Structure 1
Amino acid sequence: MWKWFKRFLLIALFLGFAGVAAIVGMYYYIKPELPDVKTITEVQLQTPMKVYSADGLLISQFGEKRRIPLAIEDIPLQMINAFLATEDSRFYQHPGIDPIGIVRAATVYIASGHAKQGASTITQQVARNYFLTREKTLIRKIKEVFIALHIEQLLTKEEILALYLNKISLGYRSYGVGAAAQVYYGKSVDELTLAQTAVIAGLPKAPSKLNPIYSPENARSRRAVVLMRMLDEGYITRAEYDEANAEAITASYHGAEIELNAAFVAEMARQELVEMFGEDQAYNQGLNVYTTITEKSQLAANKALVDNLISYDLRHGFRGPIEKLWDQSKGEAAWPMQKIFDHLAEQPFYNVLSPAVVTQVNEKEIEVLVQGGKAGTINWDGLKWARRFVNDKRQGPPPKRASDIVNAGDMIWVRAEEDELILSQLPDTSGALVALNPQDGAIQALVGGFDFKQSKFNRATMAKRQVGSNIKPFLYSAALENNYTLATLVNDSPINHWDASLGKAWRPKNSPAVYDGPIRIRVALAKSKNVVSVRLIRSVGIGPVIEHLSKFGFHKEDLPPYETLALGAAELTPLEVATAYAIIANGGFKISPYVIARIEDAYGNLIYQAAPDLACTSCGPDIAVADGFTEGLSEDQALAAFDEQILTLNEIEGNTDSSENIDPVANPSKPYQAPESKIAPRVISGANAFLIREALSSAIWGGTQNGEHWNGTGWRAGRALNRRDIAGKTGTTNESRDAWFSGMSPYSVATAWVGFDNHSRVLGYASYNANLGNQQVTGGEFGGRTAMPAWISYMASFLEDHPEQKKRVPEDIVTKTIDLETGLLSRSEGANTRSEYFEKGTEPTRYVPENQNDIFTNPDEESELF
């Protein structure tokens, strides 16, 4: 026996040494292929980019993987215990691999013939998830063991556990327990019940097979296993086990909790982030992007545009149901209720519109089933608008009964208004609204269409459309720099110009075709006189006009070098137009629009802050800007004025700064330093901007002449808002294919546009609907009727928090009493005179003669009529 024992002992020792040698040899064999495990301390979890409003509301998130990184102390102990009990009960005892667990798994395999119990520790899973693939090969398993042992030498158990719980795949593109809690339950991890925690802890084994949404029964069975393991390990009591095991499986898919509808803004931010960082870093670094919009301004813009497009669409008639599900006139049976709801659940919904199916038609009402499992009634007030759409210029007769409009089986669009359902339809028209802070260019609100789901084309930034009379303020600005004043007379009379290249006469017309004869510049712009604009462009010259318009940021290639430019033939985007109007509003400074205020990394470190050029309201009237300082002031004076300006803007609007050098990974040893803002370049004089703003104020408020009041084209805005610190301009293109309104206040500049994406369609005409009484919009569509309501709605909301400002008159502006008929100085004040503003040195020097006709007939006198 002793001899055999010694032989056995020698063989055992030999095998032991051979095993150790084999392990050492294997280690050195695969060592060149092992990753540098030290990099795990520098790992950046793939976390989606999130886009927020300036006031911290989530707008959107972008990225392939859903992840909410959590520190180990932010993960509830119950969640940790659930994973430990299920995945690795000896986690705190083993060195990275668990020999006892391996033996136990092997024993179960030998006894059953199946691998019913895994032997991988949490540390091994971390090694696999961070460094290896999931291929089932011996060499991969050996690598996994060595990496796990190395990880245990580098990190604490808590650090390993945190990496695991933030990395593990848990289905539905959710990675980590934070994302899983949100995706399945719409909660944070500390809000989960024991039963919900157990469901999540059971997912790592097979996320798709055990998914509580796709496979609730499988999830229930796996939850029972997790709860039993927690009970066996002493983490929960029998009573807690019984209660949690009896709960129903309540999981349902929860997308990102979008708190503010601003999809067009989010897409703009996404594109900028990709340009800054590239797709991989933009989508996977967990960047938090804060935009310049706020909840109130964006909601106001959303409502303004959507309501305006729906209003336009409805007054042009009902285009019929979306589809017909059954036709009772052909003997087809009505669908059962569940089939209707199943069909509706598959349909998209857009903004305020939901699909519904008509189930019964009564004399003056219809009964409907609405997407989401709701039933309702649409009474006559929600139906009577729906006369038949014939074409863009013609509507059918008003309906007399509900059956004139729809039939049972029709699928339609409905919207809720004051708890009442209203028959509606998806607008054929498109539109855009964009608002800017005129002092720094921050985009306050932007909507690029009726619904981003319907069309991702951002008409606010991408749609180049003819601007019509919205171009005129910039043309008049050029005229003011070329010997014109607000009091200069121009002949508002028809033009008949032979065009040899076309072989016919060009006859530009006013709209409406009313001609006032000699008219002052102020009145001509306020009334939007087309022939006056043509005469001005002829007088100044097309070349100088285009050169002047380019100062406002318009690209010369978008400005046709023809006289039609005076009528708005240029094609510009709403954002370009709003930016140009902001220059008039801020006193002549060329600000640049921006939408990203700041960017933080996944840990809250600032890595980018916008530094917009600022309009300088403290600068003198004739001071140009160069290199961030003002000419004509000492450096100390300029800096003092600039500091005061920035302080004011930051206090009022919450402005931020920017950077050109962006590092997406913050370096704690070298904190990010945001650059300082500079004064924006002045492109027109303060006097020029003030005078154009004055004329645009008259477009809102009109004036008097010969004892009678006249209206400007924007009179509806004055009546609606009733404040004197606003100004604006309508715009309508040939045949009303595009309708515009651009307007300003000291706090915001906004442009609204309405038109069809199909350029061949016209906005048309809406006839009187006898069902609606006098509270309706009828007649031809144009800027003041079609686009201005959106601008008014937005400004009414935005300005309610901003006090009306008194007019600020620049130092180089003088006032003179003029005669309204001639524009010359008046020696008396009366009903036909007014106090007019002039840039110093341009005011009239002549007084109106006793015989006013002399001013037009005496060839020896200098004429004031252009």
Structure 2
Amino acid sequence: MFKRLLAILAGLVIGGAVLAAGAAAIAIIITYPRLPSLDVLTDYRPKIPLRVYSADGQLLGEFGEERRSFARIHEVPQLMKQALLAAEDERFYQHSGIDYMGVLRAAVGNLVSGHARSGASTITMQVAKNFFLSSEKTFTRKFNEALLAFKIEHTLSKDQILELYFNQIYLGQRAYGFSAAAQAYFGKPITNLSVAEMAMLAGLPKAPSAYNPIVNPDRARLRQQYVLRRMRELNFITQDQYDAAVKEPLQLASATVDSNQPALYVAEMVRQAMYERYKDAAYTEGYKVYTTLDSHHQQWAYDALRAGLLDFDRKQGYRAPESYIDLASAEGEDQTEVLDDALSEIRDSGDMQAAIVLSASSTEVRAYMRGGKVAVIKGAGLEFARRALSPKLAADKQIRRGAVIRVRAHDKGYWEIVQMPDVEGAFVSMDPRSGAIKSLVGGFDFNRRSFNHVTQAWRQPGSTFKPFIYSSGVERGITPSTLFNDAPLTVPGAPGSPSWEPKNDDGKFAGLISMRRALTQSKNLVSVRLLMAVGTDYAQQYIQRFGFSPKQHPAYLTMALGAGAATPLQMAEGYSVFSNGGYRIKAFFIDRIEDQSGHVLAKTQPAVAGQNATQAIDPRNAFIMTSMLKDVVRYGTAAKAMSLGRMDLAGKTGTTSDWKDAWFVGFNPNLVAATWVGYDQPRSLGRYGYGGTAALPVWMNYMANALKGVPEVELPVPTSIVVKPGAGQRGGDEYYYEEFQKTNPELKIDNHGTVPGSNASDAAVDDATAKDPNAPAAKDAVENVKELLF
């Protein structure tokens, strides 16, 4: 009887097994032909984001919904592959796509629990799921996953499968694939990762959010240590390597600071240009854009502008904390959660870190920072904000518990309280011969204000515009030695309108003064008289040679004082004409566009000074103007720049009415740079708002680095220029057009307002204007000089 029961039971088991096998076979026969094609794997084309690079190959920015960086499997470090196998599939190179023992264990566990709780997915099965299936945990999906894994294994090699997994898997922080994750979490290529960092990344596929080291550092650490243990157990690493990796503190890239912050304005300019050209494909086809930027110049410009704006803002005093967080009922772990949540919404800005005050007194402030670190600020670190520590101050101005402030590590090793500046600025530098932009910083912090002040801020250029008016005078026959009367001037207004009485900035008058010296000292009254002499219509036409639009510079006498509108980029382009010998160049920032395989799709072919660029002004004019702008640096409003120890620098400061804009534009033969400082909503910069005090230091800071070790360049005197030694400012040389040598190049005005040698002057002006069909007759121009120099 017992034997019979055993036989019946065995028959049932065998019969059940046969039926199950038959059912499985039928399911396979029905399902397998319906499995999706593997073309998406054999012709793998991931959505690669747009990447922007400097001219020297440094990554400046990345744009796309997904962070991706494709890597061939032979490029992946062996230890990274081993870390991944230890965490996900140690028998990957032995099984055929399905780990049957693992599947059996998972199936038993799921049957015991009554529902699908876990699986034993191999790397091949995960590839199948990531490319073709949903993430739901059902027996049907698992069955299809296993069949797909079998199909994949019979189509692709093991290394091909691992390559697909390595590049496709989602790892948090918008990163797909381990190369992208290495940049997202550690800010470095995968080839530079340590064993500890590799283990951290290898632990992410199981649960990217739960094991995200930026969001959940404790859980991520436990997962990392598990991976390290498995690597040691499998003899992928030695005991010494294991011990070192367990102890290694990880330096994570901040989730709130873009590591490419110095170049974000340029990266955005590239993104806009690429979208205009390729639309949505710009973000998925893996285009690589190489800009003209030099990464060193960009860093110097970024640092210089930020330092200059912070220094200017510091002189205005501490305003108040950025905001306040209610910590009244938060204690212990609850307080930490509140603090972390609050800081997650606030971006750091460069080295200026957001912090929340835990306690504050007149001698010490304790502030909670990202990652749980507490900064203790005392002594010199409190000096800037000391007034805000007074309990007598209004509550919304006090640094008190819950206040959101900015702190920075001082060079001398202590924490100090700082603040984000209200004032904005812009800086751009370029090669004056080709227009290739070397650096561009559109504001203090792109993440705070994405408005690009270099290209979008139309501001009054003030006295930095005067050289273009002076150049028009040189073109009309006025020389650097021509004497003007720096004296009060009243210009009658239109009927019913008040008269205009321009003033010099210092309120003083110098009397008779040469044009050279007037530019050096930025004399407003001489600039107005000069414009009156050449004529506003002629000057308005003339400035177009430098790239300025007449619409932005109406033909009024106020044009002499820079009352029109220009961007910092336009000003740099304009001064390039002086620097390069008189050629009109166009600024550009994209050198070439490549596809993801490195094939060049487009390349900029700029017009180059001295080759194929348009001659905008006479090279003699450019030389003479450069010589006068050198005097501005040597003896005038930009004399501070002489501390750079160079004699080949030229430039001009600019300050607009009521000190609303501060400028400096300067150059040598190889580099031109413009800087602007002001408020987005124009208002006075105050007593520190001069071009020489607010803008010039930024330019000097940059140039000190950019020209370090670069030999000085002195351009030769152009032909048809007469050099008169000792006739210039402070005993320097003076320069005239050769054709004016027959006349009296030193036009003088006596106390009675008469102009000796007017016939000779007639000839000189006639020579200077004969080439311009739109210029007034020579007699009219000379009469202007006679009548309007006073």
TM-score normalised by structure 1 residue count: 0.72
Q: Secondary structure at the match of 1:505?
A: coil
Instruction: Tell me, yes or no, if structure 1 residue 856 matches structure 2 residue 754.
Output: yes
Shift of 1:546: 2.1
Query: Quick one: which amino acid aligns to residue 40 of structure 1?
Result: L
Instruction: Tell me, yes or no, if structure 1 residue 508 matches structure 2 residue 502.
Output: yes
- 2:548–2:570: 8 Å Cα contact kept in structure 1? yes
Q: Secondary structure at the match of 1:178?
A: helix
- 2:437–2:589: 8 Å Cα contact kept in structure 1? yes
- 1:814–1:838: 8 Å Cα contact kept in structure 2? yes
Instruction: Tell me, yes or no, if structure 1 residue 373 matches structure 2 residue 271.
Output: no
* C-alpha distance in 1 between matches for 2:148 and 2:358: 64
- 2:462–2:654: 8 Å Cα contact kept in structure 1? yes
* C-alpha distance in 2 between matches for 1:340 and 1:152: 49
- 1:485–1:842: 8 Å Cα contact kept in structure 2? no
Q: Secondary structure at the match of 1:845?
A: coil
Q: 1:428 to 1:501 in 2, by over 3 A?
A: farther
| Aligned equivalent of 2:737, options 827, 831, 839 | 839
Q: How does 1:728-747 map to 2 (within 5 A)?
A: 728-747=651-670
Q: How does 1:569-718 map to 2 (within 5 A)?
A: 569-599=563-593, 602=596, 609-616=603-610, 679-702=612-635, 712-718=636-642
Q: Secondary structure at the match of 1:376?
A: strand
* C-alpha distance in 1 between matches for 2:447 and 2:493: 47
Shift of 1:304: 2.6
Shift of 1:467: 0.8
Q: Secondary structure at the match of 2:740?
A: coil
Shift of 1:480: 2.3
Shift of 1:462: 1.4
Q: How does 1:77-116 map to 2 (within 5 A)?
A: 77-81=78-82, 83-84=84-85, 87=88, 91-92=92-93, 106=107, 109-110=110-111, 113-115=114-116
Can you list the C-alpha shifts for 1:90-142, whole angstroms capped at 9, x where unaligned? 65566656777766655554465443553655334323323454467888777
* C-alpha distance in 2 between matches for 1:721 and 1:241: 52
* C-alpha distance in 2 between matches for 1:215 and 1:851: 80
Shift of 1:484: 2.5
Shift of 1:21: 7.5
* C-alpha distance in 1 between matches for 2:27 and 2:318: 82
Shift of 1:251: 6.8
* C-alpha distance in 2 between matches for 1:530 and 1:434: 27
Shift of 1:276: 4.0
Q: 1:441 to 1:168 in 2, by over 3 A?
A: same
Q: What's the counterpart of residue 431 of structure 1?
A: 425
* C-alpha distance in 2 between matches for 1:262 and 1:464: 21
Q: Give ranges in structure 2 of 5+ residues lacking alignment.
A: 5-12, 389-396, 762-784
Q: 1:359 to 1:244 in 2, by over 3 A?
A: closer
Q: How does 1:484-499 map to 2 (within 5 A)?
A: 484-499=478-493
Query: Quick one: which amino acid aligns to residue 350 of structure 1?
Result: S
* C-alpha distance in 2 between matches for 1:165 and 1:713: 60
Query: Quick one: which amino acid aligns to residue 647 of structure 2?
Result: R
Shift of 1:181: 4.7
Query: Quick one: which amino acid aligns to residue 702 of structure 2?
Result: Y
| Aligned equivalent of 2:471, options 468, 477, 492 | 477
User: How many residues get paired?
Assistant: 736
Q: Give ranges in structure 1 of 5+ residues lacking alignment.
A: 2-7, 389-404, 617-641, 643-678, 703-711, 767-780, 821-830
| Aligned equivalent of 2:685, options 756, 763, 774 | 763
| Aligned equivalent of 1:782, options 690, 695, 706 | 690
Q: Secondary structure at the match of 1:207?
A: coil
Can you list the C-alpha shifts for 1:350-374, whole angstroms capped at 9, x where unaligned? 3454456595656xx6555574423
- 2:453–2:568: 8 Å Cα contact kept in structure 1? yes
Shift of 1:75: 3.2
Instruction: Tell me, yes or no, if structure 1 residue 235 matches structure 2 residue 209.
Output: no
* C-alpha distance in 1 between matches for 2:586 and 2:110: 69
Q: Secondary structure at the match of 1:838?
A: strand
Query: Quick one: which amino acid aligns to residue 567 of structure 2?
Result: T
Q: How does 1:500-579 map to 2 (within 5 A)?
A: 500-579=494-573
* C-alpha distance in 2 between matches for 1:109 and 1:131: 23
* C-alpha distance in 1 between matches for 2:593 and 2:92: 38
Q: 1:752 to 1:22 in 2, by over 3 A?
A: closer
Moved more, 743-752 or 259-268: 259-268
Q: What's the counterpart of residue 659 of structure 1?
A: none
Q: What's the counterpart of residue 314 of structure 1?
A: 314
Query: Quick one: which amino acid aligns to residue 812 of structure 1?
Result: S
Query: Quick one: which amino acid aligns to residue 560 of structure 1?
Result: P
| Aligned equivalent of 1:795, options 700, 703, 706 | 703
* C-alpha distance in 1 between matches for 2:281 and 2:122: 31
Q: 1:242 to 1:605 in 2, by over 3 A?
A: closer
- Give identity over the alignment, percent: 38
Query: Quick one: which amino acid aligns to residue 467 of structure 1?
Result: P
Shift of 1:279: 4.0
Moved more, 333-342 or 180-189: 333-342
* C-alpha distance in 2 between matches for 1:848 and 1:99: 100
Q: Secondary structure at the match of 1:551?
A: helix
Q: What's the counterpart of residue 776 of structure 2?
A: none
- 1:498–1:506: 8 Å Cα contact kept in structure 2? yes
Shift of 1:553: 1.6
Q: 1:559 to 1:141 in 2, by over 3 A?
A: farther
* C-alpha distance in 1 between matches for 2:418 and 2:237: 57
* C-alpha distance in 2 between matches for 1:343 and 1:142: 46
* C-alpha distance in 1 between matches for 2:67 and 2:730: 70
Q: 1:853 to 1:366 in 2, by over 3 A?
A: same
Query: Quick one: which amino acid aligns to residue 757 of structure 1?
Result: D
TM-score normalised by structure 2 residue count: 0.78
Moved more, 222-231 or 725-734: 222-231
Query: Quick one: which amino acid aligns to residue 559 of structure 2?
Result: L
Q: Secondary structure at the match of 2:276?
A: helix
Q: Secondary structure at the match of 2:170?
A: coil
Query: Quick one: which amino acid aligns to residue 315 of structure 1?
Result: K
* C-alpha distance in 1 between matches for 2:331 and 2:481: 71
Can you list the C-alpha shifts for 1:48-77, whole angstroms capped at 9, x where unaligned? 444444444444433333334332233344
Can you list the C-alpha shifts for 1:313-348, whole angstroms capped at 9, x where unaligned? 233344345567899xxxx99999996997598265
Q: What's the counterpart of residue 782 of structure 2?
A: none
Query: Quick one: which amino acid aligns to residue 234 of structure 2?
Result: Y
* C-alpha distance in 2 between matches for 1:385 and 1:713: 33
Q: Secondary structure at the match of 1:511?
A: coil
Over the aligned positions, Cα root-mean-square deviation in angstroms equals: 4.8
Query: Quick one: which amino acid aligns to residue 744 of structure 1?
Result: F
- 1:493–1:516: 8 Å Cα contact kept in structure 2? yes
- 2:481–2:746: 8 Å Cα contact kept in structure 1? no
* C-alpha distance in 2 between matches for 1:753 and 1:725: 22
- 2:360–2:366: 8 Å Cα contact kept in structure 1? yes
Q: Secondary structure at the match of 1:262?
A: helix
Shift of 1:742: 0.9
- 1:509–1:530: 8 Å Cα contact kept in structure 2? yes
Query: Quick one: which amino acid aligns to residue 715 of structure 1?
Result: A
Q: What's the counterpart of residue 467 of structure 1?
A: 461
* C-alpha distance in 2 between matches for 1:25 and 1:359: 70
Can you list the C-alpha shifts for 1:525-568, whole angstroms capped at 9, x where unaligned? 22323233333333433333222212212233222232222221
Moved more, 443-452 or 740-749: 443-452
Q: What's the counterpart of residue 751 of structure 1?
A: 674
